[in-house]
Structure 1
Amino acid sequence: MNIKETEPTIQNINRAIFEEDLSIVIDELINLYFEEVNKGKEENVRKQFVIDYINNSNISSQEIYNWLLNNQNDSNSIFLLGYFNNYGIEANINKQKALELYQKAAELENTAAQFDLAYLHIYGKGIDKSYDKVFELSLKLADREYPAGMNLLGYCYNVGIGTDVDKHKAVELYYKAANLGNIRAQCNLGLIYESGDGVEKDHDKVFELANKSANGKHSDGIGLLAYCYYNGLGTDTNFQMAFELYQEAANLGNDVAQYNLANMYEYGEGAEKNMSKAIYWYKKSAEQENLGAQAKLKSLLNGINLLGYCYYNGIGTEVNKQKAFELYNKAANLGNNRAQCNLALMYKNENFLKDDNKVFELSKKCSVGKHSGGINLLGYCYDNGIGTDIDTQKAFELYQEAANLGNKVAQHNLANMYEYGEGVKKNTNKAIYWYKKSAEQGYQNALNVLNNF
């Protein structure tokens, strides 16, 4: 026998063994994943479960992804390829592709795909959502007695997704799923008992359900338990315990807990007052699009900037430019555009700080946030070669942008460019127009120019 003739056969056998093993691994992964779904585990926890399972399988995620691309023969492999696309595992995040693959697997009655498809229709970004599809899939899963389906259907009835609001049905479904151990449903039911919306208020039940959900490490459940301790719902008020629980939920990435933790740091409840930590957690929450945190952070940073302004100008206190610098710097580093602009002006005007590169860098940051003062200052940098080469065309464009936003200094600077034909063709009428716009806002330099025209 020719040895070379046997080599392809051995390779084929090894390939067959590998593919059979891989198919088994994928089937087991999806079954275990759906168990996590029915326990009510959160999205980030489910994702980490998938990654950990793959890492422990001795098969790389790249090998699995490559195999999935060429083996779309059953619903589990179709769903998993969609999952990889949804979460950017060995592929760029592609929500639309994930949606299509989930839909295909769901039509083959894949329960994991049905749940994740419904979830994507609720929370996914950049896709055409269908709340009717969410209700349809939730109903299908609930009819098969899956706790995740019952909880999701309860949510549909609770807020009116694909159906009319029906609080009583929501309570029934949450109750059933909660009794089956779904930690998300336990939290949802606790929230209903707290609000009394569709059921009589019962703080003891809120505390009991929050405890159950928290024991399952659901961040919303932990946050709800913290809320109970903070407000004395079903238990004695205990700020220290509330603080510790909010800290735990915040560390798990829960935006509401991050907001509440920041609030406790701000007012010194359950922990020593610490504005730096308060701002840190407001920022973490705001980054997750928590509207309350965004408003609070903006207010606090504006306050820090305003205090810096008071020290800089001696308003209600003695002039202290070092203190002003520290406050501007703190707010600027946390993204406050006004503070970035004020700090840039200090780097431009104060001899003890003079740094043209910092002026340019901070002006750019501020202009990205569409702060008219920052845009004007960036124009000034290009106009005068501060931290960059002189570019009067660029300066003109930036002055124009800031002037259109109503900035009186930019309006004066724009008029000046029209008057002398710098960065644009000389135009006296437009110069006068913009000088007048600036003067109407009380800018003295513009008034002086108009008096001399």
Structure 2
Amino acid sequence: MIIRTVLDMDSPMVDVVVQDPELTLPNAYDSDVEISPLLDESEQSAEEGTVTINTADFVSDSKYYLKWSKNYKEACKLIYDKNSKLEDFQKAEQLLLTESQSGNVLATHDLGKLYSTDKLGEKDLEKSQRYYSEALKGFLEVEPTESKLKSYVQYRIGKMYCYGLGTEQDYLQAFDWFLKSARENNKFAQFSLANLYYYGNGVEKDLSQAFLWYQKSASQGQPYASYAVAQMYSKGEYVAKDDDTAQQFYKQALSGFLNLERKEQADDNLFYKIGMMYKNGLGTDIDVSKAIKYFQRSADNKWSSYQLGKLYLFGADGLEKDKEKAVRWLTKSAEDGNEYAQKLLDNMEQFENVVLANTVFGLFVNLSRCIEDDYMQKNKLSRRTVDRKLRQMILKKKQELGVKEENNITMQ
């Protein structure tokens, strides 16, 4: 908003252009960075088999099989428990090794995932790829003869090609496997397939197909798909821009995300996303305190620490500015590789000066308005006094001349 005040002979106001007191920042700093949806966001830490697969375990004629065994479930619980320590991860590793050695492909796959993290110490990417490669071999071997879990296995194969897990990254292969699974109504594959269409990976970019598969997945309760549909309505991508419909889908997504949190299936990326929804009022009312809570829970995510830094630097409704906290969170984000946080730190003095200038100008504008209102009020009273005296003089003159007063003339 720009306010212009003008000084002339009849007004006490000063000629100056004033920026809105709300700080205006370069787009790179002011925009709320939205992490592009990962193709496996649908899974997070849930491991679909332990949560959504309610069917008998599959065992093939080969040495490979799929089994949600007691050991496997216990290992997953330890790995994804936020309170787990090194000894817990080591116990999970031994449980998975036992299962993997017997041919359980699920355990072999999760060993690959475990070694790709620092939960056991330093990452071991070579060992990770070795187990991933063995898992992919197992999935490919059981898929042709599997019946009840066929679409699930196809989805897992698609993910491995999509991310290059145990193989070279191959979006074309990923697309083929996701499509097979999606046609069998696997909601995770539908979401992943929609992402390929949306970003144009392995297939020509096609927003109509992306929207179609996002909707199919969302209708089955996949919250990330609901979030994607909401974004398309919010941005007017393929569909007409419709904020009300977007809010409905954001609400569905938030409900699903919070449900994942209750089941202890949320990670830092999901906490960041929930924080952004509360910060921006997506599917809910704006709630800065809740946003901060989720950003703090996911502070290892460089975007969460960045948002905390911004909130404390510029303040928000119900939150006072705190330069010390702002610097601490922005520094953490910058150290984690966030260039936006570093630029904000480098230009903090400049931005603070802008804030100060805008605040001063804002106060000046309000003062100018008060002066103008007072001036206009006094001017109005003065004119009324002059008009009354003039009418009295005219009436007196008419009386001296013997002119009769008309009935419609009234004294002011």
Q: TM-score, normalised by structure 2?
A: 0.51
1:291 and 1:119 map into 2 onto residues whose CA distance is 30
In the TM superposition, residue 111 of structure 1 has moved relative to its aligned partner by: 6.1
User: Does the 8 A contact of 2:190 with 2:214 survive in 1?
Assistant: yes
Task: Show the 5 A alignment for 1:65-76.
Answer: 65-68=96-99, 70-72=101-103, 74-76=104-106
2:206 and 2:293 map into 1 onto residues whose CA distance is 34
Residue 49 of structure 2 is matched in structure 1 by 31
1:33 and 1:76 map into 2 onto residues whose CA distance is 14
In the TM superposition, residue 152 of structure 1 has moved relative to its aligned partner by: 0.8
In structure 1, stretches of 5+ residues that fail to align are 1-27, 37-46, 305-453
User: Does the 8 A contact of 1:265 with 1:274 survive in 2?
Assistant: yes
2:314 and 2:164 map into 1 onto residues whose CA distance is 36
* Structure exhibiting the larger radius of gyration computed from Cα positions: 2
Task: Show the 5 A alignment for 1:440-451.
Answer: none
In the TM superposition, residue 103 of structure 1 has moved relative to its aligned partner by: 1.9
Task: Show the 5 A alignment for 1:265-344.
Answer: 265-270=312-317, 271-300=319-348
Task: Show the 5 A alignment for 1:135-146.
Answer: 135-146=175-186
Residue 318 of structure 1 is matched in structure 2 by none
1:148 and 1:225 map into 2 onto residues whose CA distance is 22
User: Does the 8 A contact of 1:187 with 1:213 survive in 2?
Assistant: yes
RMSD, aligned CA: 4.0
Decide whether aligned partners of structure 1 residues 60 and 185 sit closer, same or farther in structure 2, where only a CA change above 3 A counts: same
Residue 132 of structure 1 is matched in structure 2 by 172
Instruction: Give 2:297's match in structure 1, choosing from 244, 251, 260.
Output: 251
Decide whether aligned partners of structure 1 residues 34 and 196 sit closer, same or farther in structure 2, where only a CA change above 3 A counts: same
Decide whether aligned partners of structure 1 residues 188 and 283 sit closer, same or farther in structure 2, where only a CA change above 3 A counts: farther
User: Does the 8 A contact of 2:78 with 2:92 survive in 1?
Assistant: no
**C-alpha distance after superposition, 1:358-411 (max 9, x if no partner):** xxxxxxxxxxxxxxxxxxxxxxxxxxxxxxxxxxxxxxxxxxxxxxxxxxxxxx
Decide whether aligned partners of structure 1 residues 214 and 287 sit closer, same or farther in structure 2, where only a CA change above 3 A counts: farther
Q: TM-score, normalised by structure 1?
A: 0.47
- SS of the residue aligned with 1:226? helix
Read off the aligned partner of 1:251 and give its amino acid letter: R
User: Does the 8 A contact of 1:142 with 1:149 survive in 2?
Assistant: yes
2:271 and 2:192 map into 1 onto residues whose CA distance is 17
Decide whether aligned partners of structure 1 residues 77 and 234 sit closer, same or farther in structure 2, where only a CA change above 3 A counts: closer
Read off the aligned partner of 1:75 and give its amino acid letter: V
Decide whether aligned partners of structure 1 residues 192 and 303 sit closer, same or farther in structure 2, where only a CA change above 3 A counts: closer
Decide whether aligned partners of structure 1 residues 89 and 250 sit closer, same or farther in structure 2, where only a CA change above 3 A counts: closer
User: Does the 8 A contact of 1:205 with 1:234 survive in 2?
Assistant: no
Instruction: Give 1:85's match in structure 2, choosing from 115, 129, 142.
Output: 115
Higher relative contact order (CA 8 A, sep 6+): 2
Decide whether aligned partners of structure 1 residues 112 and 99 sit closer, same or farther in structure 2, where only a CA change above 3 A counts: farther
1:31 and 1:251 map into 2 onto residues whose CA distance is 27
Q: Percent identity?
A: 22
Task: Show the 5 A alignment for 1:193-212.
Answer: 193-212=233-252
Decide whether aligned partners of structure 1 residues 220 and 99 sit closer, same or farther in structure 2, where only a CA change above 3 A counts: same
In the TM superposition, residue 133 of structure 1 has moved relative to its aligned partner by: 2.9
Decide whether aligned partners of structure 1 residues 90 and 301 sit closer, same or farther in structure 2, where only a CA change above 3 A counts: same
User: Does the 8 A contact of 2:164 with 2:170 survive in 1?
Assistant: no
User: Does the 8 A contact of 2:178 with 2:189 survive in 1?
Assistant: yes
Residue 212 of structure 2 is matched in structure 1 by 172
In the TM superposition, residue 276 of structure 1 has moved relative to its aligned partner by: 2.2
Which stretch of structure 1 is more off in the superposition, 99-108 or 249-258?
A: 249-258
1:84 and 1:224 map into 2 onto residues whose CA distance is 28
In the TM superposition, residue 204 of structure 1 has moved relative to its aligned partner by: 1.7
User: Does the 8 A contact of 2:250 with 2:283 survive in 1?
Assistant: no
Residue 414 of structure 1 is matched in structure 2 by none
In the TM superposition, residue 149 of structure 1 has moved relative to its aligned partner by: 0.8
Which structure shows the bigger proportion of residues in helix conformation?
A: 1
- SS of the residue aligned with 1:210? helix
In the TM superposition, residue 203 of structure 1 has moved relative to its aligned partner by: 1.4
Decide whether aligned partners of structure 1 residues 268 and 29 sit closer, same or farther in structure 2, where only a CA change above 3 A counts: closer
The reply to whether residue 51 of structure 1 matches residue 79 of structure 2 is yes
Decide whether aligned partners of structure 1 residues 126 and 141 sit closer, same or farther in structure 2, where only a CA change above 3 A counts: closer
Residue 354 of structure 1 is matched in structure 2 by none
Pairs aligned (count): 257
1:290 and 1:88 map into 2 onto residues whose CA distance is 20
Instruction: Give 1:105's match in structure 2, choosing from 138, 141, 146.
Output: 138
Read off the aligned partner of 1:226 and give its amino acid letter: Y
Decide whether aligned partners of structure 1 residues 182 and 122 sit closer, same or farther in structure 2, where only a CA change above 3 A counts: same
